[in-house]
């Protein structure tokens, strides 16, 4: 931990405040543009969902009906696969839809706290305290930017997180795309008992039968890698030119079944190059009982087969693709068996939630911008600390009023065209927010005159 104290002169503060006016103007512009973009996005998303609700058709996932090709359909059921999903780097393999490798490294993390104190003559004293703590992080923390030396992190992660998916995943007669497979959930933690020690590929018990593979060499001094990555990441071409449920798959690898490929003989790997050891539901590099900087945890999670899932998408042969509406592409995917009505309702709620988050962010960006623009006034008056506080309070009130006016006006303009009953009241509130400080100030002046001695 270290502490650094700096004193900024009055002249330097005034100069910095005037420079900050340019940043303040930029923040106001960014906030307004962001709010306007958000209202347009929200309107388009609402229209898109409304259009989808009117044309969606419930269909049976068990068969592909040619008459539904090109239509927006709703299907739900169990996504299944008989493939073995494998992480060849660590020899973990099981019958599942998705296998996720999570990698965390024990590293130093820097935290800073700042305390500011006003001094006489308009000067300002800033005390910055820097502290360090050890954390597990999936991202590499760059210690070269730390304030203090002696807190060094490794310069690279020895392993990277990765997602492996089944080659083929079916919802009834429909084939899922790579993006749809990667979005499946929820994920389950891998049973520690299914983690191979260092001598081959084991399988975790699932709802579907799992074929064990025990044909890899065994050694107490070396770790082994199973089949290479390209076996499990073949390019798949789906011929969907007809509305038939027949599926034609071509691949750049050989025609060996996935199960047989997953069981291919492993290549021995030097133990010094692969120093990981089984620990809990994954592996550990280092000493688990006494973690040190640079230690690594590798854990695994998976999506079991079958996996109940629901879709709202366009039928394209025996695949599901985004449906083109007048306001953009529409494809909804939800975990569990859900009706089309429930999926659209959830999408509407998510759209509103995102809109309000962006509105709040935009509001405070504009507020900080106006405060930065007016900062020179309070800094100049801060030559006398008490006067600076009074001016700061007044400029803060004006900044809030201008922010409310500008933010609400921007939002209202975006909504007037689509929902006038909401946009017009927002404009009225915006005008009131703008004139309120001036009306209040005038009333105070009149009140002071009324009580003045004769």
Residue 171's nearest CA partner among 182, 185, 181 is 181
Task: Tell me what pLDDT residue 434 has.
Answer: 61
Distances (CA, A) of 46 to 39, 40, 116, 260, 339: 10, 10, 46, 48, 19
Provide the pLDDT for residue 418: 60
CA-CA distance, 391 to 387, in Å (whole number)?
6
Nearest in space to 226 (alpha carbons), one of 213, 242, 239: 213
Can you tell me the distance from the alpha carbon of 32 to that of 408, in angstroms, rounded to the nearest whole number? 10
The ranges assigned to domains in the chain are 2-50+348-450, 82-105+135-304
Sign of CA dihedral 268, 272, 274, 278: positive
- Which residues are CB-contacts of 160 (< 8 A; sequence separation ≥ 6)? 103
Place of tokens 């695949």: 319
Vertex 370 angle, CA 369 and 376, to 5°: 105
Position 420 scores a pLDDT of 60
Element (H, E) at 106: strand 98-118
- The answer to whether the pTM exceeds 0.75 is no
Contacts of 437 (CB under 8 A, 6+ apart): 397, 398, 401
Per-residue pLDDT at 412: 78
Would you tell me how many other CB atoms lie within 10 Å of the CB of residue 321? 16
What is the rounded distance in angstroms from the CA atom of residue 263 to the CA atom of residue 243? 35
Coil, strand or helix at 317: coil
Predicted local confidence at residue 326, as pLDDT: 92
Find the helix packing angle between 340-381 and 385-416, rounded to 10°.
Answer: 150
Looking at residue 311, its pLDDT comes to 97
* pLDDT value, residue 258: 37
Q: What parts of the chain have a pLDDT lower than 50?
A: 199-273, 449-454
The string of pLDDT tens digits covering residues 278-299 is 888 889 999 888 999 999 999 9
């Amino acid at each position: 931990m270290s502490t650094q104290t700096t004193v900024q002169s009055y002249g330097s503060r005034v100069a910095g405040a005037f420079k900050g006016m340019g940043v303040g103007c930029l923040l106001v512009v960014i906030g307004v543009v962001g709010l306007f973009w958000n209202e347009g996005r929200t309107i388009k998303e609402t229209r898109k969902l409304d259009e989808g609700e009117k044309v969606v058709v419930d269909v049976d996932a068990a068969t592909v009906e040619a008459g539904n090709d090109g239509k927006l359909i709703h299907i739900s059921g169990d996504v299944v696969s008989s493939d073995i999903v494998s992480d060849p780097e660590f020899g973990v393999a099981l019958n599942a839809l998705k296998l996720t490798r999570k990698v965390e490294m024990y590293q130093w993390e820097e935290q800073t706290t700042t305390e500011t104190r006003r001094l006489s003559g308009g000067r300002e004293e800033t005390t910055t305290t820097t502290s360090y703590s050890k954390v597990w992080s999936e991202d590499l923390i760059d210690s070269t930017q730390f304030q203090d030396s002696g807190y060094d992190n490794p310069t690279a992660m020895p392993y990277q997180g990765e997602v492996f998916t089944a080659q083929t995943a079916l919802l009834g007669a429909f084939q899922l795309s790579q993006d749809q497979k990667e979005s499946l959930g929820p994920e389950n933690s891998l049973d520690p008992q299914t983690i191979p020690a260092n001598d081959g590929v084991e399988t975790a018990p699932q709802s579907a039968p799992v074929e064990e593979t025990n044909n890899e060499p065994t050694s107490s001094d070396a770790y082994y890698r199973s089949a290479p990555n390209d076996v499990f990441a073949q390019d798949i071409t789906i011929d969907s030119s007809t509305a038939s449920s027949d599926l034609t798959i071509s691949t750049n690898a050989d025609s060996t079944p996935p199960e047989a490929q997953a069981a291919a003989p492993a290549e021995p790997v030097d133990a010094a190059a692969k120093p990981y050891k089984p620990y809990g539901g994954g592996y550990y590099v280092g000493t688990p009982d006494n973690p040190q900087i640079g230690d690594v945890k590798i854990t695994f999670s998976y999506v079991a087969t079958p996996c109940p899932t629901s879709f709202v998408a366009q039928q394209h042969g025996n695949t599901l693709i985004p449906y083109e509406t007048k306001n953009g592409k529409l494809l909804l995917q939800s975990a569990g068996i859900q009706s089309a009505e429930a999926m659209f309702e959830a999408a509407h709620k998510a759209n509103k939630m995102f809109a309000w988050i962006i509105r709040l962010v935009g509001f405070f960006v504009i507020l900080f911008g106006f405060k930065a623009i007016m900062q020179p006034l309070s800094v100049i008056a801060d030559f006398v600390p008490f006067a600076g506080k009074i001016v700061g309070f007044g400029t803060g009130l004006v900044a809030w009023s201008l922010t409310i006016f500008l933010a609400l006006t921007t939002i209202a303009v975006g909504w007037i065209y689509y929902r006038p009953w909401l946009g017009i009241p927002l404009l009225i509130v915006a005008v009131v927010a703008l004139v309120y400080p001036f009306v209040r100030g005038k009333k105070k002046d009149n009140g002071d005159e009324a009580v003045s001695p004769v």
